């Protein structure tokens, strides 16, 4: 049954490929454009394409395909992009289990991979690679900030919850690394789960004073709606993924006042960000999320490298990427030794602004924060 469903999904996908042929740089974007994770992929894609459009360059070709959040489909697309589309750079993957399946083989074949979202610990430490650059964060980072915030806010007993996949493990590891209190229970759910009754029952029965959850995309929407309707009133904290712009709209006022941690926020005060937020709203008619900001930064990093070097000269192109000579919408940005960002992470609060739920920065959580795995990387 599962095999049949998969085979059919692959068939559907084959019809969606777009043949392109041109000189210049060819980018293959594998991202999630359908199902409960589609809001993330759509935002990354839209942010990326906005930056490409604004650069005015006509020599960048972007091939975009939907991975449906399935590792086997992502691998098939990557093989096709590398072997028959002849892309130079790959990007776009949202989910860490897909990134782990795709990135190592792609970079071994001499292609560059720029991650606009997933940052699994496996690829940041011993598994790092000179052709792999993460423009978002190492997975643990935002959760580390959330753990630190929860300690500062006086919480001493957390119930922590994440999906059972590599980024979920990184999330809980990161939270525990910076949370000084006690962990009442840690629970892993299925990736893509939509009913959280069993987990909410455990939260209700626990003696926790705070609930930390990492549930990106549709999972977060389902969880927050069910949590709000369950009568449990233990305060929640989370990373920005659990409270991004797409989730807030669907969850509604239940999210009001919740604190979450992010490397980016709509109200970050710098010229690049102000311009980005305005132009994104104008182009797409909605507020950008952190995923859109990451897609936008990824494209701008790529363009900055392209200005300096030809992708055919891999060593020069890699040096140009490593320099990160672009204006990030999150302010200061530089790569650490393992090609993961060293950056500030903020605490945000969910507020109502002009009738729309959104986030506002309340404090700086971690300054120039680097990830915990950089020391294990040798390249």
> Comparing C-alpha atoms, which of 121, 124, 73, 129 is closest to residue 98?
73
Of residues 178 through 217, those in contact with other proteins by CB under 8 A are 183, 185-190, 194-195, 197-199, 201-202, 204-205
User: Helix (H, G, I), strand (E, B), or coil: what is residue 375?
Assistant: helix
* Nearer Cβ to other proteins (96/300): 96
Shortest Å distance, C-beta 128 to other proteins: 23
CB atoms within 10 A of CB 323: 15
Report if residue 218 touches other proteins, rule: CB under 8 A: yes
Q: Using CB under 8 A, which of 17, 34, 55, 279 touches other proteins?
A: 34
Q: What are phi and psi of 335, to 5 degrees?
A: -90, 140
Shortest Å distance, C-beta 67 to other proteins: 12
Tokens of 128: 């790092």
* Nearer Cβ to other proteins (109/194): 194
* Nearer Cβ to other proteins (185/314): 185
Residues 6+ apart with CB under 8 A from 143: 170, 171, 172, 173, 174, 175, 212, 214, 239, 261
Is residue 50 within 8 Å of 298, Cβ to Cβ?
no
Is residue 125 within 8 Å of 134, Cβ to Cβ?
no
Binding mask 36-75 for other proteins (x = CB under 8 A): x-xx--x---------------------------------
The count of residues interacting with other proteins (CB under 8 A) is: 43
Report if residue 12 touches other proteins, rule: CB under 8 A: yes
* Nearer Cβ to other proteins (132/223): 223
In Å, how far are 33, 247, 295, 303, 351 from 38, measured between CA atoms? Answer: 4, 12, 14, 25, 24
- Per CB under 8 A, residues contacting other proteins are 1-2, 4-5, 8, 11-12, 33-36, 38-39, 42, 164, 169, 172-173, 183, 185-190, 194-195, 197-199, 201-202, 204-205, 218, 221-222, 225-226, 229-231, 250
């Amino acid at each position: 049954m599962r095999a049949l469903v998969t085979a059919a999904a692959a068939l559907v996908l084959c019809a969606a490929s777009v043949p392109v042929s041109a000189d210049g740089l060819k980018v293959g974007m594998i991202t999630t454009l359908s199902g409960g994770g589609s809001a993330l992929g759509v935002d990354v894609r839209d942010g990326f394409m906005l930056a490409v459009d604004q650069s005015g360059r006509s020599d960048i070709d972007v091939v975009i395909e939907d991975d449906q959040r399935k590792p086997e489909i992502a691998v098939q697309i990557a093989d096709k992009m590398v072997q028959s589309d002849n892309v130079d750079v790959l990007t776009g993957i949202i989910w860490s289990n897909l990134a782990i399946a795709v990135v190592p083989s792609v970079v071994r074949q001499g292609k560059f991979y720029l991650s606009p979202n997933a940052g699994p610990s496996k690829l940041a430490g011993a598994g790092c690679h000179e052709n792999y650059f993460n423009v978002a964060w190492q997975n643990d980072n935002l959760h580390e900030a959330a753990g630190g915030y929860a300690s500062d806010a006086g919480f001493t007993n957390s119930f922590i919850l994440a999906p059972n996949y590599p980024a979920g493990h990184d999330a809980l590891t990161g939270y525990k690394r910076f949370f000084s209190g006690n962990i009442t229970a840690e629970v892993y759910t299925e990736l893509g789960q939509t009913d959280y009754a069993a987990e909410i029952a455990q939260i209700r029965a626990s003696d926790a004073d705070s609930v930390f959850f990492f549930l990106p995309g549709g999972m977060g929407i389902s969880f927050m709606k069910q949590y709000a309707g369950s009568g449990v009133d233990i305060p929640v904290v989370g990373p920005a993924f659990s409270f991004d712009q797409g989730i807030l709209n669907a969850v509604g006022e239940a999210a009001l006042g919740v604190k979450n941690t992010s490397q980016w926020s709509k109200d970050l005060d710098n010229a690049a960000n102000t311009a980005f937020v305005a132009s994104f709203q104008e182009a797409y008619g909605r507020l950008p999320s952190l995923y859109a900001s990451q897609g936008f930064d990824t494209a701008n990093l790529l363009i900055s490298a392209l200005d300096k070097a030809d992708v055919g000269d891999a060593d020069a192109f890699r040096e140009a990427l490593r320099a990160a000579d672009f204006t990030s919408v999150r302010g200061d940005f530089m790569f650490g030794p393992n090609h993961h960002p060293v950056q500030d992470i903020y605490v945000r609060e969910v507020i109502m602004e002009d009738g729309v739920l959104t986030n506002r920065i309340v404090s700086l959580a971690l300054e120039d924060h680097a990830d915990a795995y950089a020391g294990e990387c040798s390249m």
